[in-house]
Amino acid sequence: MGQPVERESGEAAQSELPPGQRIQRGWPVTHYGPVPKFRPERWEFRVFGATADGEKQCWNHDEFTALPHTTVVADLHCVTKFSMLGAEWGGVPARTILDIAPPAPAVTHVMVWAEYGFSSNLRLADFAAERTIFATHKDGELLTAEHGFPLRLVVPHLYAWKGPKWVRGVEYMTADRRGFWEERGYHNLGDPWREQRYSYQEVPGDGPDL
C-alpha cells in the first residue's frame, strides 16, 4: 500500500511486516473471556484519574458518537504472530479525547479500560500519537460485537493487545502501572518493530517492577 513513509519512531513503512509476523487471511477473533453484550442505555465512556481540572468526564453513547470522526489506515499485529495489514479504521482520535478532556501536566501514562476490567497501559506519547484512534468502524462498516463493538482502541505502532476492544474509558496516571496482559507476561511497551513481546525481555526503565 503506497510508498514507504519515514516515521519519527523509526517504525517501518505501513503494511510492512514487523519481524517474526506473518500475514493472516481474513480477520481472526482474539481475546480473553466472553464477548460483552452492548447495552446502550448503560454504556458510557469515562475519562478519570489525573485530569487537568480534577473532574471526571463522561459521554453517553449518543454523545460519544457525535464527536468528530476521522479515518486511519493501520495494521494489526497480534503477539501470537499473525498480522492483518491495511485496515481502514474509523472513529475518534485519542488526541481529540486529550483535547476535550485534558490531562494534568504531571500525567505520564494512561490506562485504557474495557468491559470486565480488561485494561492496557500506554505511555502518554503512545496514546497521543497521531494515528491512535478509538475505532467504531473498520473499512466503513460498524465493528462487529466480537471485534469490539461499540468501541475499541487501535494503536497502530504497538502490538494489538495494547488496543482494548469494548473500551469504556481512560484513566490518566502520573506513574506507570501494568494492564491486564502486561501483568501476565507480555512486554510493558509492546513495540512490534523491536519484537517487545514478553516481559522477560524488558530492560530497566521499560516498566514497573513485576
Ligand X SMILES: Nc1nc2c(c(=O)[nH]1)N[C@H]1C(S)=C(S)[C@@H](COP(=O)(O)O)O[C@H]1N2
Q: Which residues are at the interface with ligand X (CB under 6 A)?
A: 27-32, 78, 114, 118, 147, 160-161, 163-166
Identity of the residue, 34 or 140, whose beta carbon is nearer to Mo ion in the bound complex = 34
Helix H or strand E segment including 82 = strand 82-93
Q: Tell me which of Mo ion, ligand X, none is bound by residue 29, counting a contact when its beta carbon lies within the kind-specific cut-off of 5 to 8 angstroms.
A: ligand X
C-alpha cell at 62: 449518543
**126 CB-near residues (< 8 Å, 6+ apart):** 132, 155, 157, 158, 162
List the x/- string, 10-39, binding to Mo ion by CB under 5 A: --------------------x---------
Q: How far apart are CA 85 and CA 121, in angstroms?
A: 24
Question: What's the longest Cα–Cα distance across the chain?
Answer: 46
Q: Minimum distance from CB of 185 to Mo ion (Å)?
A: 12
Cell numbers describing residue 114: 474495557
Q: Which one of 85-93, 124-132, 138-146, 161-169 is the stretch in contact with Mo ion (CB under 5 A)?
A: 161-169
Nearer to ligand X, 45 or 118 (CB): 118
